Amino acid sequence: MSGVSPKGPLYRFGPFELNTGEESLARHGTRVKVQDLPYRLLVMLLERPGEIVTREEALPPVSVVLRGFLTSLPLSWFGEASTLRR
């Protein structure tokens, strides 16, 4: 860890800077787009240097990921909307 931003830790590693207060990742000062799950995994690993992080700790259950994916799809793809539950 290299510092603390007003809202959270600031991590610097190689050309990267991860600002947990802003929930942002930058490379050589240029913001990098990163999806939520990889970002959370990176934060977890940076917060626990030298520790072993198990797969169960690092990744949400498949059902959580699948549910998020399915609820993001348009209902019209599944036919009759009245038969679907969210």
DSSP 6: S
Which structure tokens are listed for 71?
A: 């609820």
Q: How many CA atoms lie within 13 A of 1 on its CB side?
A: 16
Q: What CATH number does residue 43 fall under?
A: 1.10.10.10
pLDDT digits (tens, 9 = 90+) for 1-21: 455 545 788 999 899 999 999
Number of domains in the chain: 1
pLDDT digits (tens, 9 = 90+) for 24-54: 999 999 999 988 888 888 998 899 999 998 8
Domain range for 39 is 3-83
- Alpha-carbon distance 2 to 27, whole Å? 15
